[in-house]
Chains A and B, each alone.
Chain A
Amino acid sequence: MNDALLDLNNATIKFGGLTAVSELCLKIHADELVGLIGPNGAGKTTAFNLITGVYQPTAGQIYFSGKSIKGTKPHDLTKSGIARTFQNIRLFGSMSVFDNVRVATQVHRAYGIGSALWRGRDFHTGELEVEKHVHELLDIFQLRDMRDEDARSLPYGDQRRLEIVRALATRPKLLLLDEPAAGMNPTEKEELMKLIQFIKDKFKIAIMLVEHDMKVVMGICQRIYVLEYGIKIAEGTPNEIQRNAKVIEAYLGTEGQS
């Protein structure tokens, strides 16, 4: 049963009297592209924060690679293979594009303060490896020309792309994208869809997408979960979701109600 990469088993979180996410069961397999949608305030971002360890579930379990991640700190989750981007872009503004990606690679480096001070041979080969890895990533995503720019001076679309590249630099098994299409125009959305598809094919990782934009979600996701008021109301392929009565009701309301 536990062949899923990520497995939420009745995960519930309550804030005081409010149940933000209720008994959510959700599975993501390796190499799968899953969407999480729902109307405003449905608990999508809360579910997201449960998976990334920002919040702890008040009940239920969350397994990643077969291990329970309840109580694991967010920075340790990154180490075990969960990377994320943010709805409102959070880059390291004062750092260069190169350094933004570089700092993310350090999760898996064994050396720490001692070798940074001593700077022996291991340190230099280590740093060269990091540099090579970062350059590979920047090349793949055509960001190399901007490597020395400050991250905050980049155009919006490039900032989004850089944030995804930075998340990939932590070598994740699961990449979580929080509304990556927010604030994008139709052309940029087209490109984003191609980019996500490309990442999935190239890096062979699982991707979960929280998104408002139906076109993006329906266009690329293999399976979709729908939340409303913290409760999962549907799951299935894009086609199934589009015809699901409950989903249509949640988004459009029932007849006579509007």
Chain B
Amino acid sequence: MNNRGAKRWLMLGIALAVVISYGYEFLPVFKGKGYYLGIAIDCGISIILAVSLNLINGHTGQFSLGHAGFMAVGGYAAAKFSLVFEPMVPDSLKPLLFLVALVLGGCLAALTGLGVGIPSLRLKGDYLAIVTLGFGEIIRVIVQNMDAVGAASGLKGIPKWTTMGWTFAFAAVTVYAVSALVNSTYGRGFIAVSDDEVAATSMGINPVRYKVTAFVTGAFFAGIAGGLYAHHKQFLSPTGFDFLKSIDIVVMVILGGMGRTVGVIIAAVLLTLLPEFLRQFADYRMIIYSLLIIALMMARPQGLFTLGARKKGAARV
């Protein structure tokens, strides 16, 4: 990746997202079919989730199973915010309100990430996985018992504000942020921590700080994804954020290849589309889905789409 042009790629991505957001109706696939549009947005949200988790699990080498928890925090916060303020705001300012809601959700998720990260990131590997798993469940149970956000029956009537443009603009921001971080002298520290923590420490890298940074950044984007999801489905239920959701995202990262952004994006799209293609198999589809993942993992344990991109051009600023 040529970093000098990195910001230009970001702009291009956002511009493309905005164009698509107005132009998709002219594409034959989407003509009059909300179903395809919905899936396209799902893909975009998956990309944000997977790429942001990749910073934690892939680049920094931590094993977090709590991504759905951060997504829930962001989703519920953004949804509640829009529900409260929507009646007070004129139509012309609604996009701004949506942006504020999303960023607020992201920040709240990041704050939660900080709270969870500081004590738990002293743990490693499996231990960290279990702590983050527990955290995700705590979030779910809290939400399930909170009447302000609909408790177990879910939060209904969230305005439908998420469009292709919003989704892919944020996907572009996420991809940019993660690759910009990792492809800098500062960001190489993430990979150093993942490769050898002791050596990283002796090179002046504070591993705890790096891990927390990765955790908080990942949580922020998971929160954004949650907000987009809430305003896309218009309905949030605590069961949608159980640990299976976290595992879905982890599978995307592993299948795409830990620390490979392009691979993870492809895997996110693929794993979002796959259940839809398998719909005709009705009851068997989750079995086929699982079998496919097992087969893929056995065939290519290093990830499906490892392009060897990491070392190439590593030095070109």
Residue numbers of A with Cβ under 8 A of B are: 52, 73-76, 78-79, 83-84, 86, 90-96, 98-99, 102-107, 109, 111-113, 115-117, 119, 123-124, 126-128, 130-131, 134, 147-148, 150, 166-167, 170
Answer yes or no: B192 CB below 8 A from chain A CBs: yes
A-B contact pairs, 8 of them (CB 8 A): A74-B202, A78-B204, A86-B198, A94-B195, A95-B310, A113-B186, A116-B187, A131-B317
Task: Provide the residues of chain A in CB contact with B196, threshold 8 Å.
Answer: 90-93
On whether the beta carbons of A96 and B317 are closer than 8 Å, the reply is: no
Q: Known contacts A103-B185, A111-B186; is A119 also within 8 Å of B205 by CB? A: no
Partner of B202, one of A84, A98, A105, A131: A84
B199 and A90 form a contact (CB under 8 A): yes
Could you tell me if B317 and A99 are in contact, using CB atoms closer than 8 angstroms? no
- Of B3-11, B78-86, B274-282, the segment with at least 4 beta carbons within 8 Å of chain A is B3-11
Contact A52 B202 (CB under 8 A): yes
- Size of the B side of the interface (Cβ < 8 Å), in residues, is 36
In terms of DSSP, what is the predominant structure of the interface of chain B? helix
Report if B33 contacts A (CB, 8 A): no
Contact across chains for B198 and A130 when beta carbons are under 8 A apart:
no
**Are B203's CB and A78's CB within 8 A?**
yes
Contact of A92 among B181, B195, B206, B315 (CB under 8 A): B195
- For residue B181, which residue of chain A has the nearest CB? A116
User: What residues of A have a CB within 8 angstroms of the CB of B296 in the complex?
Assistant: none
A70 to chain B, nearest CB (A): 18
Residues of B within 8 Å of A75, CB to CB, are: 201-207
| Tally of A-B Cβ pairs under 8 angstroms | 126
Take A95-B192, A99-B311, A117-B180 as given contacts and tell me if A78 and B202 are in contact as well, using a CB distance cutoff of 8 Å.
yes
Q: Which residues of B contact A150 (CB under 8 A)?
A: 311
Report B288-317 residues with CB < 8 Å from chain A CB. 310-312, 314-315, 317
Whether B192 and A103, one on each chain, are in contact in the complex, defined by CB atoms closer than 8 angstroms, is yes
Interface of B toward A, CB cutoff 8 Å: 3-4, 6-7, 177, 180-181, 184-189, 191-192, 194-196, 198-207, 213, 217, 310-312, 314-315, 317
What distance in Å separates the Cβ of B10 from its nearest Cβ neighbour in chain A? 10
| Alpha-carbon distance between A112 and B177 when the two chains are bound, in angstroms | 13
What residues on A are CB-neighbors of B314 within 8 Å?
95-96, 98-99, 148
Q: Are B315 and A147 in contact (CB under 8 A)?
A: yes
A163 to chain B, nearest CB (A): 9
Residues of A close to B203: CB separation below 8 A = 75, 78, 103-104, 107, 166-167, 170
B317 in contact with A95 (CB, 8 Å)? no
Among residues of A, the one whose C-beta sits closest to the C-beta of B180 is: A117
Using Cβ atoms and an 8 Å threshold, which residues of chain A touch B199? Answer: 86, 90-92
> In the complex, what's the smallest C-beta–C-beta distance from B5 to chain A, in angstroms?
10
Check A95–B191 contact: CB distance below 8 A.
Answer: yes
**Smallest CB gap from A86: residue in B:** B199
Q: In chain B, what residue has the closest Cβ to A104?
A: B203
Chain A residues lying within 8 Å of B189, measured Cβ to Cβ, are 103, 106
Pick the contact of A112: B180, B186, B188, B195 (CB < 8 A): B186
**Cβ-closest chain B residue relative to A152:** B195
Give, as a whole number of angstroms, the nearest-CB distance from A140 to chain B: 17
Decide yes or no: A148 and B312 within 8 Å by CB, A78-B204, A103-B185 being known contacts: yes
Cβ contact within 8 Å between A128 and B317:
yes
A75, B6: Cα distance in complex, Å: 31
Contact partners of A111 in chain B: CB under 8 A: 186
Chain B residues within 8 Å of A76, by CB: 204
The docked-state distance in angstroms from the alpha carbon of A75 to that of B310 is 26
- With a cutoff of 8 Å between Cβ atoms, the chain A residues found around residue B187 in the complex are 116
Is the pair A73, B206 in contact by a Cβ cutoff of 8 Å? yes
Task: Say yes or no: A102 contacts B185, CB within 8 Å.
Answer: yes
Nearest first, the 7 A-B pairs at minimum CB distance are A107-B204, A78-B204, A90-B199, A127-B317, A92-B195, A116-B184, A103-B188
CB distance from A40 to the nearest CB of B (A): 22
Residues of B within 8 A of A91 (CB): 195-196, 199
